[in-house]
Structures are given as structure tokens and as C-alpha cells.
Amino acid sequence: MTRRPALRHSLLTLAALALVMNALSTSCSGDAVADSDGKVRVVTSAELFADLIRNVGGDRVKVTALVPGHADPHTYEPVPRRVRDVAEADLIIINGVGLEETLAGLIDNNAGKGVPVVEMAAGLPLIGGDPDEPDGNPHLWMNPQYAMRYVERIRDALTHVDPAGEAAYRANADAYIQQLRALDDEIASAVAAIPQDRRKLVTFHDSFPYFAQRYGLDVAGVVVEAPGREPSARDMARLIDRIRDDDIRVVFKEPELNAGLLEMAARDAGARVMTLLNIAYAGDVHSYVELMRFDAQQLVEGLASP
């Protein structure tokens, strides 16, 4: 992804992790912070993450996502109304690894003093590392096993700012992680139905490497490295060649990004276009679990059929 102010975020991440570690090692700490109706105010970047946070926080939290459900967090420019949300948050949870590039300024400038900013992906093993993105690809949540780690960090962060809710957070997290395990198995067996030679994924942008890695798919090509970066003519030519040479019949677009180039490449290469989701919602999908299920269905339908 595009470069972010690495130093500042690293410091914040370390600070947040230190706080979380500290909370784990003491039984009682600090003041419970809550707003007038008693709930913990959490701000996150995407609705998808808000879903995870709600599953852990339950009634004890009030979660706001800075980016609307259908939009793309890589490039979304937040409206000024969101400033208030950030300023009044008790806890800020983001993905990190450069995903929230355009939100960084908003958060840095408006988060209250001492309000923790937690990066869910910090410290996890990353894919990617070409010269443009030394921090790697941020789409870790597409692997449910990483999503489970996200849930654990959410639990710990909530416990830190609201120690009174520790038991509830632990219980909720455990239950949700069970769901995610079941989901993981479900997807694995669905994908297993796809023949080996058809397990080639062409998507609009590079959002599926973790998913591919987990379920044994191969990312055969992408149109753009990151949203906002246009491919050159040669890149397009190589992609079309790849689609043809590997006999890829279906390519996948993402609904929050304009996929004109992908559709054009598909047409020229004789492939079909279907949809996959990676962070933005579409249609009936309103939660993480639904999103992952949807993708599994799409992949089976697109790749498994002749």
C-alpha cells in the first residue's frame, strides 16, 4: 500500500501495545471511561471492523465507522462531521499497515489525549514487501485465522479502557472466535471443491493474498497494485496474456472500486466478470461472516464450474 507516516504510527502502536500489556498484567487499572449513557465509545475505520468490535463489545460499546459501509477506506476522504466522532472516542481501533492512509491525519489531530489507538494488524506476519510497500499488504482479515487474532486484540483493548467489562468481553470474544473457527472450516471445504488447476485468482486490486494463502489459491494477477495507482499499458498487456495463458475463465471485481479496466481486460481476454468483497459491503452482506461466506460462494461458482 502507499506509504504512511510510519514512525508516528509505530510509536502509537507500541504505546497502545504497551498499554494493553500493562492492562493484562494488572487486575485493576485506571479509570473506566464511558460516555453519558454508560457505553464505551469506539471509533474504527470500516464497517467491517465495527462488526467485529460489536461482536466482542456487545451492549457495552457504541461503535462508529469513519468510512461508510459501501466505500473504500484506501482512498476515502472523511467528511468533517467525523472529527467530532474521533474527538469524543474513548478508544480508536484501526487495521494499520497503511490501510487507513487518508484517515491518519484526522485521527492524529483529533484523538483525545491519552486515548489509545490500536492497530489490529500490528506485529502479525505480513505478505508483501516490494520497495513501494515495505509494510506489506494490509488485508489480513481476509484470513479468518487472523481475524481471530484481531478479535483477541479488540478484547484486550476494550478490557483496558473498560476493566469492569472484562468478563463480558472475554465471554463474547470466545463465542465469536468459535463462530470464526466454524466459518474457517466451512470455507476450507468449499474451496476444496475447486479443482487444483482452476484455483487462479485475478482481482481488481491486491486484496486477497492472505485469503489465497490460507485456502490454497494462487493470485494470478491484479489490475492495480493499490487503488489510485493506474496500471501502465504494458501491465495491462501482461495481465491479458496471463488470463489467456492460464486459461482463467472468471475474474473478480470489487464493488467499491471502479473496475472499468478489469472489465476491459476480461473482455479482451475472453473471461467473465464476477464480484468479490474484501472490506466494503454490498447487497445483503452486512457482517464479516456474511462477507466471507459470500466470497466463498462466489469463488466456488466462478472457479469450480467448467
Q: Which residues bind another protein (CB under 8 A)?
A: 67-68, 70-72, 75-77, 224, 227-228, 230-237, 240, 255-258, 260-261, 263-265, 267-268, 280
Residue 83 · residue 111 · CB < 8 Å = no
- Minimum CB separation of residue 269 from another protein in Å reads 9
Nearer to another protein among residue 57 and residue 138 (C-beta)? 138
Q: 159-177 in b/e burial notation, b at 16+ Cβ within 10 A?
A: bbbbbebbebbeebbeebb
Cell readout for 12 is 502509537
- Minimum CB separation of residue 243 from another protein in Å reads 12
- Minimum CB separation of residue 265 from another protein in Å reads 8
Nearer to another protein among residue 146 and residue 252 (C-beta)? 252
For residue 190, give the H/E element and its range.
helix 166-192
Cell readout for 135 is 509494510
Residue 252 · residue 277 · CB < 8 Å = no
Q: Is residue 204 helix, strand or coil?
A: strand
Nearer to another protein among residue 226 and residue 296 (C-beta)? 226
**Amino acid at site 177:** I
Residue 52 · residue 288 · CB < 8 Å = yes
Q: Could you give the CA distance from residue 297 to residue 137 in angstroms, rounded to a whole number?
A: 24
Angle 262-267-273 from CA coordinates, rounded to 5°: 55
Nearer to another protein among residue 162 and residue 254 (C-beta)? 254
- Minimum CB separation of residue 266 from another protein in Å reads 11
Nearer to another protein among residue 105 and residue 195 (C-beta)? 105
**Amino acid at site 183:** L
Closest CA to 122 of 98, 104, 102, 90: 98
Residue 23 · residue 163 · CB < 8 Å = yes
